[in-house]
Every structure is written in C-alpha cells, then in structure tokens.
A and B are shown apart, each in its own frame.
Chain A
Amino acid sequence: MDMNEIKEIFFQECEEQLAELESGLLKMNDGDRDPETVNAVFRAVHSIKGGAGAFGLDDLVSFAHVFETTLDCVRSNKLEPTHDVLKVMLRAADVLADLTNAARDGGSVDSARSAGLVRELEALATGEAPPAAAPAVAAPAPAPVAATPTDDSGFQPIPFSFDAFDDEPATPRFAITFKPRRDLYSKGNDAALLLRDLSRLGEMSINCDMDALPPLDEMDPEEAYFSWTIELSTDKGEDAIRSVFEFAEWDCDLDVTAQAEQAAPTGEEPPMVPVPFDLSLLDEGGASEAKAPESVVAAAVAAAETASNVTQLAGAAARQEKREAPAAAPAAAAAAANAAQNAAAGQTIRVDLDRVDRLINLVGELVINQAMLSQSVIENDANGTSTINMGLEELQQLTREIQDSVMAIRAQPVKPVFQRMSRIVREVADMVGKQIRLVTEGENTEVDKTVIDKLAEPLTHMIRNAVDHGIETPEKRIAAGKNPEGTVKLTAKHRSGRIVIELVDDGAGINRERVRQKAIDNDLIAADANLSDEEIDNLIFMPGFSTADKISDISGRGVGMDVVKRSIQALGGRISISSKPGHGSTFTMSLPLTLAVLDGMVVTVAGQTLVVPLTAIVETLQPEAQNIHSFGSNQRLISIRNSFCPLVDVGRILNFRGTQANPVEGVALLVESEGGGQRALMVDAIQGQRQVVIKSLEANYTHVPGIAAATILGDGRVALILDVDAVVSASRGQSLKPEMSLAVAG
C-alpha cells in the first residue's frame, strides 16, 4: 500500500467524519444536549485533525484545531450551544469540508472565509470561557495550539510554535515519562538507544523507575519493567521529542509535558491540558489498546477527558452547574464505553463497486437457477420424495436470505445526500438573506448506491431554486402573515417499488401569470393557448425556459428545471410539480430503486409475462359482465362496491394488441397510483406471486414508457415489470409514447 492509497483512505474516512460532524451539529441545533452527541462531534473534528497532521495538511490542521478548541468549550460546558453558536459551527463544518476537498483535489479555499470563521470560533471560545483561559485563546493561532498536546494516538501533528517565547532566553523544559511495554523490545527497539537519541536534543536529567521490578524468581525475561522520567531542556520543541519515539510510540506509554513555568504565558488552565488520566487509562487497556482502531483510541481519550472534566466539575462545584460528581463519573465512563462500542458496531469496509455488482449478478443467477430447479422437480416428479422437497425448500430459504443480504450491501440510506442539502440551504439562505429551516424525513430510506450518487445533482438544483425563488424574504413573509422563517421539507419514502422524494416549500408558489408570459415570450406556447394551472406549472420543465435571459428575475421557479427533469429521467424516474399560490410548491420525484428485489404479481398479457409490483395492487377481482359499463366512445368502467373505476387494458396500452380484450375473460388488478387515483388493470391471467430481481433496461437499452424495469424469470426469459403509475397516467389520455428518441433508434 503506497502513501497515496493511505491518503485516499484518510479522505474517505474524512467524509464519514464530516457527515458525522454535520449530523451531530444538526442534532444539537434541534436541542439535543446529550453529551455523547457533543463528544461525537468533537471526535469527528479531532480525527480529521489527527489524520491531516500525519499527512502534513497544515491548513486543515490549524483550522480543525481552532474548531476543536471551540467545541471543547461546549463540551466542558463553558460555552452554551445556542442556535447562534451552532450556526457558526455549521459554517465551520462547511469550511472544514471545503478544506478537506481542497487538500484532496488540490483546489483552493476562500481564505477570507476560513479566516473569518477562525475569528468567529475564537471569539466564541474566548467570549464564554473563564477569564483565566482568555489570554490563551485570544493570542494568535500558535498559542492555543501549544495548549493541546494530549493526543497520544500518535497522530498529533504538534505545530508547536515557540514564537511566543522568543523573547524569553530560558530554554523550554519538558517533563517526559517513558514507560516501554514488552512489545517495544520484541520489535527490536531498545530503550537505551531511544534515551540516547533524546539526550542529543538538549540538557537532560534522567531517572529510572525500577519499582515494577519483581523478585528475580518471578521475573519474565521478556517483560518490560523499567520506566523513566526525564527532564529535558531543549529548544527543538515537542515535535522533536516525539519524533525520537516515532517508531516506538505504539509500544510505550509516553507523556511529554511542557514545564509549568514555560506553559504559564500560554494560559493557566487551558481546556485541554494533559491529564494523568491518559496514562492510567491506557495502562489498563494494555498494549492492545494502543493498536486498536483510531476511533476507539479517540473514544478512550475522550473518555479520559470527559472523566477529567467531571472531576474538575466536582472540585469546582460552586461555580459550575450542579452535578453529582461521583455519580456522573461512572456515567461518563459508561457513555464513553458505549461510544467505543458504537464505533465498533458501525465499522465498515470499502469494496469496489464492481465486485458488489458481480456478486449481485451471480446471486440473481442463483435465484433463477433455484427457481428453475424447483420448477423442473415439480414437473418431473409430481409426488417427489419428501427429502428432495425439503432440501429444495431449504435451498429456497437460503437463496432468499443470501439475496436479501447481498442486496443490502448496495442499498444505502439517502441520509448523506439529504445532509448535503442542509449545507446548500444554509449557504444559499445566507447569500440571499433569508431564514430557512430544512426539515428532513425518511432519511433512512434505502436506495441503491447508484441512485443516491445521481440524486445529489438534481436535488441541489431544486433546493437552490426553492431557497432562492420559492421562499420569500422574511419581510414579505411577515407581510403575508407567515412565519418569517421559511421551511423546506425533504422527505423520502418507498412506494410501489420505487422511491418517492418530495421537496415541499412553504413559499409563494409559482407565479403562473409570469410563467405563462415568459413561455409566450419564448415562443413555447401560443399567446392564446388555454392551459390548465397544472400545465402552466409544468412549463418550467421546458428546455427553452431556462436558457432565456434574466432567469433569476422570475419570482417563481425555472432555473434549469429542464436539466433536473432530464437527470431524473436518466435515472428512470419522473418528476411532477404542484403549486398553491401563496402556500408554496411541492416537487415529487419518483425514482426506481434500480438494483433491488421486488415482490411482484406475475401475470400474462397478450401472451407475454409481465410483473406488476405488489405494493401497487390493492386487490384482484374477476370482473363479471353486469359490472362492466361502457362510458363515452371507448372507455369502460367497472363497478366495485358501488363506485366506478376505469378499466385499463394493459395489453392495449402497451401496444401488445390492437383491440381491447374482453374483460370478463381476464382478471382485474385494482391498483392505486401515486396520484391517488384507482384503476382496474386488465390482464389475461395471474400466474402467481414471486420475488423478482430488478434488472435495468436502461443499462443497455433505454427507458421504455410504461415499463419500470425488467426481471429474469425461472425459465431464464426476460419479463418486464410494469410501471403502474405511468400506465395509470397514460390511461388519463396522456400518451405512453416515448418522450425521447431511442438510443438505438438512430
């Protein structure tokens, strides 16, 4: 593994940490005061800082450090996490993400923005902190940096600057405790050599602690019994000291502390001054702890720090908030233990997507083969022996379980995309001076990874639109009698084997007059065209609408919505809009889950086998002649319990046959569409219910109207999965003809 790969892993981890950071901050913003949430946020920033330090990403380190310092004030209850504070922190999280991206892709970051946030963060830390700590943080950046060398996970970058002491002639002194573990020796390191290296840094006095040395007959020759306390005067800095132990740091307990008289100018009681807990805690954990994943170590460190904070609280109960210290201490320890456990539970591995795809394809084949096997056993041996049947049944269960778990690998919650949106809302709202709250729902709804990846772009576009054009300025909202703070709501849910994502704003809605006028001006519609409200709303998806000049002058919507529609369609999805003037607009996107299993009703239509998603079907019924009524020229309705429901011949609408089939000879599937309308879909026969693997038609072909996807049946043939919503809207008179030319049409 070369350096770049390691770096890549670090950046991937950063992404996770950033997501964790943002979700934690948002939780706090919603009033979550659980110390574990604060700790999680702190840990995220801390891990990024640690990793960044190891790779020498100085910008990232210094920003993360300031951020961490402020977060630590929150953690130690010196700073109340109000909405204003969290607003700054959320923006800081954005900058941290930008810095990470810049470090990865080599881009640059608006330095004015990050510098501004550094000032804001420092102001927060100093503003609320006890006066004693104030000079430390108010000093230029290097000073607070000097106050934090507690990280013994080894990643501490230590940009320990001694600029502040330049005017002091005295050489800085350090107290070092060095306690090797047996691993140090077993790896070929020698404490004596390390100490000799250390002595080259400056004047050194050394004291060997032999208390742990057992009587000779109890001695294990491979064990490490000695430890040393060292006092070192050096101007090389803590960095140099730690670098001496660079290759041994995992195998020893090392504590480097700047001596009190030197530390004094940087602040008397800095929030993160090293505490003896570090050592004792690591001692208990033994050697293995040091090698544990960084998150666990971080958790342990956090635990130590939490514990120390609690103890400080107990000591200074008079000025701090009242807490029962003895009770709180074990509680904090337990919380930290929990955190460590959570970190373990949420462990992930990164796998190349191609490998997962291959696995999914293979499992799909397995399912089909298993179905084929069952079928042929039933056909060839009607009263087959019970052992074969039992074996088959077991095989079926196993395959289904394998299939479910394999599918779950690719399925991911939409959460990360939704989280990214909260950042966009913040940024755009800041830019246009509006107060907007993003509410998300159903963010744990799982979709295939490919869908998630492609979802971000259209969503970003729509969110920007909603904030920029949809929601009014606070003044206008107050004038209209609304809450000055606008709300954008983003929801995700499963429906009919698809995922439905809804974006609702409570803004002014579409200004239909202007949209209409714009469309007339751009020759999209005739000046005297008679359009319904719905049709006018949908004009904003027309390509000509966004290429026009003065786009942003439209108070309604319309910036690049054709692009949004296209990218949704590219995913095999649909988008629709409904708007209420004065009350806001709702965009509804319905997307396929691409790679997932689907419970379907297998039916026959005009000699073809089709699959109808089970979730869409309300009930099935056998139509009787007296219940079928003609309506208009060629419509038919079926009466079901005194209500009339339109009959839709699936074979006819898919162009499989030229004339309508006789409903009495077929079966009707009562379905409910996204729009809420009920239809009776006529099919020739029902074959049965089955779980099918969804196969994309778009991968090699193109979107087929009326068809959601394809699947492969037990006999190895392809069956099409019906897009119930499209069929229902087609039955409303909208044509099912392709909206696009076929990829292979030429």
Chain B
Amino acid sequence: MSYAIKNLVQGSRELIAFRIGDQEFCVNIMSVREIRGWTQATPLPHAPPFVMGVINLRGAVLPIVDLSFRLGLGQAEPTARHVIIVAQVRNKTVGLLVEAVSDILTVTDENIQPTPEISTDHEKQYARGILAIDKRMICLIELEGLFPETESEAA
C-alpha cells in the first residue's frame, strides 16, 4: 500500500473532487473508503458545531462532519441529494458531508500550484495547493490537516 502511494506521489495521483457551495475541493483518493447518500445522523451532546452526529456504517459508528462548516463556508442544510464521503484520517474513519462529488482527477505534481499568499492560517491548515483544470479551480485538501491529531495527547 505504501508503495502504491509513493508511486502516486512521485508520478501521477488520483483525486476525488467534490463541491461545496460554489467552490470545488479534492482529496487524495487513497484516503476515500466509499461514497454514500445522506442519512439522518444522531446528534452528539457537547459536540463542536461542525460535528453533525453519528450514523451507522454497517455496524460501526461513524461521525459525520459538516465539511462546509469546517471549512468556514457556513452550515450545510443536508438534503437527500447530499453525499457523505467516508474517508480514512489516520486510524479513524470519518464521514464528510459535501454537496456532490463531481470528478475523479488524475494529476501530476506539476498540475498543483501552491496555496495563494492571501490565505489565512485557517486555510493554510488544510489547503495543500490549487489545481487548475478546464478553467475550474479546485482546492486540494489534506484531511490530516483538517483534523489534527489531538487525541494521542488528550485521550
């Protein structure tokens, strides 16, 4: 597995692109486990506002993160058309609520431009670069940066 990832990093890599509002984002396909439709989540007490609750993923309890809220783009109003990207972030599985999955991209390192200077610390935390494809601008997200490892210390 690590060999495959290494290969992808050196040469081309595959990304899954998705839409939130009028912006497009993408994540490395290697961290995506599956994509499924929205189901009502069970809210968790004392959860941060971007944690929508938990759903049942074939017997496992999966937390659902409102990615729109997490990226600072306002709270999502989930509908039946919304999509949950089930992603592996370190040793945990997280569901990311997005509006729609738009594309699977194959890119090489040359396609990735650095994050613009104007970005704030918040954006720098997760944005790993920008892709320009067919006049679209797609922001490459690093999930590990979005959900920093705090539990090793806390839990």
Contact = CB atoms under 8 A, between A and B. Distances in A.
Interface stretch (A395-403, A500-508, A704-712): A704-712
A318 interface: no
B56 A700 contact: no
Given A361-B60, A745-B150, A746-B70, A569 B155 contact: yes
B117 to A, nearest CB: 22
A702 B94 contact: no
A570 B155 contact: yes
A283 interface: no
Contacts of A365: 58-59
Given A716-B56, A743-B149, A746-B146, A700 B61 contact: yes
A710 B61 contact: yes
Contacts of A702: 151, 154-155
A165 interface: no
A738 B60 CA distance: 23
Given A701-B63, A712-B59, A741-B154, A746 B148 contact: yes
Main secondary structure of the interface of B (DSSP, over half): mixed
Given A608-B43, A654-B45, A743-B151, A701 B92 contact: yes
Contacts of B147: 743-744, 746
B51 A742 contact: yes
A698 B155 contact: yes
A11 B40 CA distance: 49
B40 A700 contact: no
Contacts of A706: 45-46
Q: Which of A609, A718, A739 has the most CB of B within 10 A?
A: A718
A705 B92 CA distance: 19
B43 A695 contact: no
Given A364-B59, A710-B54, A740-B154, A655 B65 contact: no
B61 A696 contact: yes
B47 interface: yes
Contacts of A655: 45-46
Contacts of B54: 697, 701, 710, 718
A707 B45 contact: yes
Interface string A702-735: 1111110010100011111000000000000000
A704 B47 contact: yes
A700 B70 contact: no
Contact of A707 (B44, B56, B149): B44
Interface string B99-142: 00000000000000000000000000100000000000000000
B31 interface: no
Contacts of A697: 44, 54, 61
Given A608-B42, A700-B92, A710-B54, A743 B150 contact: yes
Mostly, the A contact residues are loop
B155 A718 contact: no
A702 B155 CA distance: 8
A705 B46 contact: yes
Given A717-B42, A718-B42, A744-B65, A700 B93 contact: yes
Interface in A648-667: 654-656
B62 interface: yes
Contacts of A566: 155
A361 B48 contact: no
A742 B56 contact: no
Contact of A743 (B44, B55, B92): B92
A97 interface: no
Nearest to B95: A700
B61 A744 contact: no
Nearest to A363: B59
B42 A719 contact: yes
B46 A700 contact: no
A737 interface: yes
A746 B154 contact: no
Interface in A171-187: none
Nearest to B145: A746
Contacts of B45: 654-656, 704-707, 720, 736
B56 A717 contact: yes
A700 B58 contact: no
A704 B92 contact: no
Contacts of A569: 155
Contact of A744 (B46, B59, B60, B63): B63
Interface residues of B, number: 34
A364 B59 CA distance: 7
A738 B149 CA distance: 16
Nearest to B88: A700
B60 A695 contact: yes
Q: Which of B53, B62, B65, B150 has the most CB of A within 10 A?
A: B150
Nearest to B42: A718
A382 interface: no
Interface in B61-99: 61-63, 65, 70, 92-94
A695 B59 contact: yes
Contact of B61 (A695, A742, A746): A695
A705 B155 CA distance: 12
A740 B70 CA distance: 19
Nearest to A361: B59
A706 B154 CA distance: 17
Interface string A30-51: 0000000000000000000000
Contacts of A479: none
B151 to A, nearest CB: 4
B46 to A, nearest CB: 6
Nearest to B149: A743
Contacts of A738: 46
A742 B150 contact: yes
A743 B58 contact: no
Given A365-B59, A710-B54, A720 B42 contact: yes
A529 interface: no
A210 interface: no
Nearest to B44: A704
The residue in B53, B59, B92 that gathers the most chain A C-beta atoms within 10 A of its C-beta is B59
- With a 10 A CB-CB cut-off, give which of B48, B53, B55, B151 has the most chain A CB atoms: B151
B42 A744 contact: no
Most buried by B among A706, A740, A742, A744: A744
A541 to B, nearest CB: 15
B150 to A, nearest CB: 5
A699 interface: yes
A361 B63 contact: no
Nearest to B57: A700
Interface centre among A656, A712, A736, A738 (most CB of B within 10 A): A712
A509 to B, nearest CB: 30
Given A697-B61, A744-B51, A718 B46 contact: no
A702 B61 CA distance: 11
A20 B96 CA distance: 50
Contacts of B150: 740-743, 745-746
Contacts of A720: 42, 44-45
B59 A746 contact: no
Contacts of B56: 712, 716-718
B85 to A, nearest CB: 14
A688 B106 CA distance: 53
Nearest to B147: A744
Contacts of A364: 59
Give the 9 A-B residue pairs with the shortest CB-CB distance, closest first.
A740-B154, A654-B45, A743-B151, A701-B63, A718-B42, A361-B59, A570-B155, A710-B61, A364-B59
28 contacts: A361-B59, A362-B59, A608-B42, A608-B43, A609-B42, A695-B60, A696-B61, A700-B60, A700-B61, A701-B51, A701-B61, A705-B46, A707-B44, A707-B45, A710-B42, A712-B56, A717-B40, A717-B55, A718-B54, A736-B45, A736-B46, A740-B150, A742-B48, A743-B151, A744-B51, A744-B63, A746-B70, A746-B150
Given A710-B61, A718-B61, A740-B150, 17 more contacts: A362-B59, A654-B46, A656-B43, A656-B45, A699-B60, A699-B93, A700-B94, A701-B44, A701-B51, A701-B54, A705-B46, A707-B44, A710-B54, A742-B150, A743-B147, A743-B150, A746-B125
